[in-house]
């Protein structure tokens, strides 16, 4: 098995789990699961982190790699559906040699997306609009590693008005699209006025197009604009395009994936200038899902909502709950009718 500490979840996710339980399982508690995949589960009050590792996945051909990606996501669904059922709220995908060609496709990431999409399409009968946020980056080892943070309360998927939802990308990015929300808003209890926002991997993409190829400075600006946009959407800001500094100031933790070693100094300098000093910053060398991207940023934000933003949040939550109840009713009717 690869010994790659960079294939772990960010520190904030481990901190959430450590609030109510021991993290000793992180040291050695991997067990052999179906198909000889390695599995680790860490339980905490109201949360579970499931990690699945496929050794030597880099050696698989296109058909086998797509199948194993599908099977890992199907295994996650099975593990989370067993009582007490839990809801995925955040995923991390670490894909070996993500930009290498595989089969007839230009990049291994496209094959990964096909397997993931097929599994999530079956998992989310209510529609792909319900998927959790995620990151997907490359590494230089040989294993496929997927982590899923789940909770006893469902999160709410958040999209970025500046971007097309990933599951609606054109076939330019593969026969089946990526499948993740831009962020997940999560409240630890009903009526929470300070929700969390888990923001997935965010880069210099507008619509579905990569912008500012070979220009790190402008890619950073575009990435930060996207992060601010997702925060405003996630926290129901009533004023579109309002102060990006205020939006970025809600981040408590960020992880930055960068492609070239020589870019690290400029990236950290820019972020230190644009972000609050209290933010926890992790940096990690990685290949990204497109060869023209130089930097990708994910993070955890939180805001105390008041006034119109709080009213909009409550309305949003009420609509989401009504939709869930309607779907649950339709599912029950289908079961009673033997469908």
What is the band of 50 on the pLDDT scale with cuts at 50, 70, 90?
A: very high
Domain extent at residue 197: 7-327
What is the band of 25 on the pLDDT scale with cuts at 50, 70, 90?
A: very low
**Both tokens of residue 212?**
């500012």
**Both tokens of residue 177?**
């699209």
CA atoms within 13 A on the CB side of 254: 26
* Cα angle value 60/63/66 (rounded, 5°): 85
**Per-residue confidence (pLDDT) for residue 202, from 0 to 100:** 98
In angstroms, the Cα distances linking 166 to 84, 181, 212, 271, 286 are 30, 7, 20, 26, 21
Residue at 177 is within a domain = yes
Residue at 339 is within a domain = no
Q: Has this prediction a pTM greater than 0.95? A: no
What is the band of 149 on the pLDDT scale with cuts at 50, 70, 90?
A: very high
CATH number of the domain enclosing 129:
3.30.1330.40
Residues 222-246: pLDDT tens digits? 999 999 999 999 998 754 566 678 8
| Average pLDDT value over all residues in the chain | 87
Query: Which SS3 state, helix, strand or coil, does residue 131 take?
Result: coil
**Both tokens of residue 282?**
């992790």
Residue at 216 is within a domain = yes
In angstroms, the Cα distances linking 226 to 40, 64, 125, 139, 278 are 33, 35, 29, 24, 21
In angstroms, the Cα distances linking 299 to 119, 196, 206 are 25, 11, 19
Residue at 336 is within a domain = no
Looking at the chain, list the stretches that DSSP marks H as alpha helix, in order from N- to C-terminal side.
11-18, 25-28, 62-81, 108-123, 216-234, 244-248, 264-274, 307-336
Residue at 152 is within a domain = yes
Residue at 249 is within a domain = yes
**Both tokens of residue 294?**
């130089």
Query: Which SS3 state, helix, strand or coil, does residue 304 take?
Result: coil
**Per-residue confidence (pLDDT) for residue 240, from 0 to 100:** 55
Q: Dihedral, CA atoms, 163, 165, 167, 168, nearest 10 degrees? A: -70
Q: Are strands 144-151 and 133-139 parallel, antiparallel or unpaired?
A: unpaired
Residue at 18 is within a domain = yes
Query: Which SS3 state, helix, strand or coil, does residue 95 take?
Result: strand
The total domain count for the chain is 1
Residue at 311 is within a domain = yes
What is the band of 112 on the pLDDT scale with cuts at 50, 70, 90?
A: very high
């Amino acid at each position: 098995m690869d010994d790659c500490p960079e294939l772990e979840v960010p520190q904030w996710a481990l901190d959430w789990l450590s609030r109510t339980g021991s993290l000793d399982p992180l040291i050695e508690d991997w067990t052999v699961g179906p198909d000889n995949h390695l599995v680790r589960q860490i339980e905490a009050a109201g949360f579970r982190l499931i990690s699945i590792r496929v050794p030597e996945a880099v050696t698989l051909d296109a058909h086998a790699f797509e199948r194993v990606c599908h099977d890992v996501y199907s295994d996650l669904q099975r593990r989370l559906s067993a009582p007490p059922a839990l809801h995925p709220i955040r995923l991390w995908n670490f894909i070996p040699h993500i930009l290498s060609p595989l089969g007839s496709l230009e990049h291994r990431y496209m094959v990964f997306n096909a397997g993931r999409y097929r599994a999530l399409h079956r998992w989310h009968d209510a529609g792909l609009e319900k998927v959790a946020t995620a990151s997907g980056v490359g590494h230089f080892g040989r294993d496929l590693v997927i982590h899923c943070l789940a909770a006893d309360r469902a999160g709410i998927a958040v999209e970025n008005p500046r971007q097309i939802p990933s599951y609606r990308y054109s076939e330019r990015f593969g026969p089946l699209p990526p499948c993740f929300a831009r962020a997940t808003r999560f409240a630890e209890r009903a009526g929470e006025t300070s929700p969390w926002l888990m923001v997935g991997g965010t880069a210099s993409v507008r619509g579905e197009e990569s912008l500012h190829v070979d220009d790190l400075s402008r890619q950073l600006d575009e990435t930060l604009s996207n992060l601010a946009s997702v925060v405003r959407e996630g926290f129901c800001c009533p004023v579109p395009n309002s102060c990006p500094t205020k939006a970025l100031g809600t981040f408590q933790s960020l992880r930055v994936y960068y492609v070239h070693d020589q870019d690290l100094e400029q990236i950290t300098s820019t972020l230190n200038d644009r972000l609050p000093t209290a933010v926890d910053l992790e940096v990690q060398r990685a290949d990204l899902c497109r060869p023209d991207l130089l930097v990708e940023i994910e993070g955890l934000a939180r805001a105390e909502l008041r006034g119109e933003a709080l009213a909009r949040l409550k309305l949003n939550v009420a609509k989401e709950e009504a939709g869930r109840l309607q779907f649950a009713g339709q599912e029950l009717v289908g079961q009673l009718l033997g469908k």
